[in-house]
Structure 1
């Protein structure tokens, strides 16, 4: 679950391209009798707008403590009676009525982000009235091969040019398997952008995406990887895009670096299999690239197999702990958490639990308030 700062939510509200589109879509969708569900309400801007446009009831869901700020804002603006704020994940919520409109913006740089798609699928199936409206309706993902030395050097220069004379290639292998973000100008595209996936939120079922993209290089240059962005359709005729050349939005553009920079000529053929699989709360991305020489189509200029899995440095000792046949024993932190959860299950008050934990682990907690902080963190995570 992404947790944003209040200033982060402020940046989202200040993004005119994003906000103007959402305002138009809400104004078009909300009717005087509408019930609206706002997933990931943050400080509550969409919930407030829904009320302003005449919604009779808004259910605003936000799992983080930012919800308290949303509650205060709803009150001072006179909408506390129409906005019901719910501090939970949307897939844990049961509503007393179905929503006529569901609005959300729980994307990251790309729509394939954490539990975004599973949350939307669940809400559509359980919480949307028949014939109800989803905002956004769909996102279309695009990709192009790019020449972006400013982005690439930011990633690899520390490992390529060690002024101390050491070979740092082991770190380079990791950082070139991690995607980042950065704006790209249209002149830096070496291929024509290709649409490789459409996420239709009215029908989508799976959070996983895989597609093969093929390009004939349109402009010679030194290619450093792929830029990936999306066009958002909030309602028919209402959209925005973070494509190169468009006004900059809060989302930026994703950059998937190649293992090495490659000199491309017009007519070279680039084939990329781009795949995203949701594992737990995060996506594992794969981008496998094959480049063929236009002068000799059987000559492979480059062949990269990359994945964010390779961007996670894991020691053999840590990998061993994830094996199916590994039999774990609790370390001291595990013993502390186990004891706290046992006391919570027995119905003991948090202050009493903190005192007991401090007595059991005197070297870990200098005083009861310190132990209470640890107990409180687990209470926020596990208690109803």
Structure 2
């Protein structure tokens, strides 16, 4: 299953001049709270430091940095929204700290080739990598961050889990006493052509979530982001109908270990069990003939690949393939109810007892 949306760089940046997009992001309370807690709650990390805000948008993250005591904040915004960001900065009386530059970060230059202490950015897209803004953040890291510098966020994890999607299947069996099965089939056919952004209820997950990839944002390279693949056999942890695969992500932030106000790690999560964000979850629907009822401990074998689209680096193709669990190698010990895994688990348990 593939998806690719065409967008040239100019159209990408122009799209972020739409204030409705920023209204959506600014109204995302978990997003705002995570960044505010990670930045303002770690004043010791920001006090007297220089900061680069990549893709500054309205300037909200730059303002958090200034509130946390940053000496200088370079806010880089490629769209015309930079002009509004300057007004927001002045409105909050931080124009002596925050300098807004209207350019791409690839065109930006720091005074006297200096390096910054911290890079902040809200670069995440749907299923983390959609829009490809991370490439620009990594460019900024390599060009402008001190070797001892910090990334906010500093790690990111992508998860995948089999799931039920009743909003696309079950509800059309009877709607207000009328069968809409034909409509449901047509809708699923349209939706199956590309992944959907949906809110998935936690009870519709059939597995807690498998780590597809973990990114250390201080070390990862753009080349490593060209293709990310996961080939797994997951074991159903709850019964239900397998109708799709749910993808979400978490991001973590550095924490001051020397007496800052934030002692616990700040995590921005788009997990179905976490408060809803504007990212929601990304769902790949299965064709109806591939859906099946799962019991607890049933195996689900699949491969999922995120491949950078060759025509536009800001888009990824998602490729999902269902595999035969009988033919795939299972993790050991495997808790599934296939005979080979039951026998292998019994053998491993016996070896452990025998010492």
TM-score, normalised by the number of residues in structure 1: 0.69
Q: Is the 8 A contact 1:143 1:226 kept in 2?
A: yes
Partner of 2:305: 275
Question: How many pairs are equivalent?
Answer: 293
- Distance in 2 (CA, whole Å) between partners of 1:32 and 1:179 is 43
**CA-CA distance at 1:47 after TM superposition:** 0.9
Matches within 5 A, 1:171-190: 175-190=191-206
| Residues 120 and 201, structure 1, Cα contact 8 Å, conserved in 2 | no
Residue 258 of structure 1 is aligned with which of 278, 283, 286?
286
The separation in 2 between residues aligned to 1:26 and 1:253, in whole angstroms, is 25
Task: Work out whether residues 196 and 213 of structure 1, in 8 Å CA contact, stay in contact via their aligned partners in 2.
Answer: no
- The reply on whether 1:110 has 2:124 as its aligned counterpart is no
> What's the counterpart of residue 229 of structure 2?
210
| 2:40 equivalent to 1:21 | no
Which structure carries more relative contact order (alpha carbon 8 Å, separation 6+)?
A: 2
Alignment of 1:1-384 (within 5 A): 1=12, 3-4=15-16, 5-27=18-40, 28=42, 30-96=45-111, 97-152=114-169, 161=182, 175-205=191-221, 206-207=224-225, 208-236=227-255, 237-260=265-288, 261-279=291-309, 280=312, 281-292=314-325
Q: In structure 2, do the counterparts of structure 1 residues 188 and 48 end up closer, same or farther at CA, with 3 Å as the change threshold?
A: same
* 1:363 counterpart residue number: none
State the secondary structure of the residue aligned to 1:144: strand
| TM-aligned CA deviation for residue 201 of structure 1 | 0.5
Partner of 2:350: none
How many angstroms does 1:120 deviate by?
Answer: 2.1
Tell me, which stretches of 5 or more residues in structure 2 are unaligned? Answer: 1-11, 256-264, 327-335, 341-355
Secondary structure at 1:68 match in 2: helix
Q: 1:172-196 CA deviation, whole Å, 9 max, x = no partner?
A: 6563131011112221112232111
The alignment yields a C-alpha RMSD, in angstroms, of 2.9
Structure 2 SS opposite 1:107: coil
1:236-263, Cα deviation, whole Å (9 max, x unpaired) = 4111211122111222111111122222
* Cα pair distance change 1:282/1:152, threshold 3 Å: farther
- CA shift at 1:30, angstroms? 4.3
Structure 1 residues 217, 85: closer, same or farther in 2, change over 3 A? same
Query: Structure 2 vs 1, CA of residues 99 and 153 (structure 1 numbering), >3 Å: closer, same or farther?
Result: farther
Q: TM-score by structure 2 length?
A: 0.74
Question: Which ranges of structure 1 fall in alignment gaps of 5 or more residues?
Answer: 299-384
Give, in angstroms, the shift of residue 268 of structure 1: 2.6
Determine helix, strand or coil for the equivalent of 1:113: coil
User: In the superposition, relative to structure 1, how do residues 154 and 62 fare at CA in structure 2: closer, same or farther (>3 Å)?
Assistant: farther
For 2:121 and 2:338, how far apart are their aligned partners in 1? 49
Greater than 3 Å deviation, 4+ residue runs: 29-32, 151-155, 171-175, 291-298
